Chains A and B, each alone.
Chain A
Amino acid sequence: MDKYQKIYDFLDGIGTEEDHKSLFDQLSSNPELASEFKKLIAIDSSVSSNNSFFQPSVDASNQLYEKLGFSNGLKTPFYLGFLNFLRNPKFISGLVGSFATIIILWSYFTFWGNNGGSKSDNLINGSFISKSSNFNENLPTSSLNVSNKKFDGSGNYETKSVSGNKNSPKEIINYINNNKYLFYENGSLKEFNDLNNLNEYINAKNINTDKSKIFDISDSKYSKPYGKGLDIRNSTLRLKSIDLVSNDFQYESINYLPKDLEFHFLSNLGERPGNGLEANSLSGKITYLPIKTSNYKFGFELAKENFLQNFERQIENERTEFFTQNPSLITIGLGARAYLFNFNETVHPYLQLFAGTAFTNEFNLYSGYFGRIAMGTEIESKYLPFNTNIGLQYTNLGTLYDNNVFNANTISFLIGVSF
């Protein structure tokens, strides 16, 4: 038997306690063997199960994954780790196989400042329209630029402009709201509830009406430009003034800058007669799609989309007023997502189409439609229990609202997760 055999057995964990005891007895009586034992221990222990010394590079593993068509396991930033709390089993079980999307629509919309004075008016054309004052109680004082166009009797208008601070837009707007008559006297405006009161005032004070005129506020026209993007709005009041001497009427325009900055990141231009503007407010959408297991998948969506539209509308006496409507549409639809190609094993670009019905509170399921087309990407993560989705979506939807066709186009961002 090899003189080292007992040592080898000991190093390999072979043998009984008695064998080991025998070995140590031998070692104590044989210094040479004890020295060899120590050396063999040193050799064995230096390498014993030390395969941790052998670490293939990260590149080698990533290349292997790529060769097999797998995602390469790029690390997700640590700060995303907090999302792991979403891995609660109850939460996940309710969402397995689903895809949730939240549309965030940026639509910071400040239509003419404070709209708090709105009131309901059900009588206009028999429709439910919220009539708003649309005028800021605290309009900034601005210059009054009056542009008079007086009919000279020969078919021409004489134009003259007057500038000053004598009448702020706020005053005039308040008069308009109250449907009162104004008397322009020596550079200031006086208010009258009706024309008779105004005439009484003129007669009582024996005013030289050659230099005076009345403003028929009921014939005022108020206009306001609309559009998308960053917008500094210039507003115009057009007043019909009546010359008490000649009975000629003329229009005077008051231009002023309300200093309202409106930023319409997303807006919708509708088809309503006399429409001004439609704008999204915050909307939400849940889309259910299974996680990527093949190059396509099908799902459904439920969404609620809110809009705000402000528009001019002419009523019986040709007076133009402003109104606000808040169509709130519910959409239900089916759709599909197709993955275009694997960008780099973790990034999967996709094209997505959804279509279905859209309806308002009037609840006529078949009254409207919607269609969405989206492009985005689904991103896999090695350390998160879900995939992240980002994309850009175009939507067209239409329905009947307030006895009119409501139609809107939106562009929105998609942000979501796939389980």
Chain B
Amino acid sequence: MREIVITFEEDGSAAKIEAVGFKGKGCHAATKPYEQVLLVGAVEDVKKPEHYQTEQGGKLGASR
């Protein structure tokens, strides 16, 4: 199941937008509208290790 999980820190300083269960670049398209309304300035963009595995045709590991 594809899902976006947005975490808002208690102190209001930052938010994390995580795409789970996506294939290829679909995750960027899904999270971008939320990044645009929530985040300002430099945005740290992190692919988890299994992301690389799948893009190279490897076996998909645990999603988180």
Q: Do A and B bind each other?
A: no
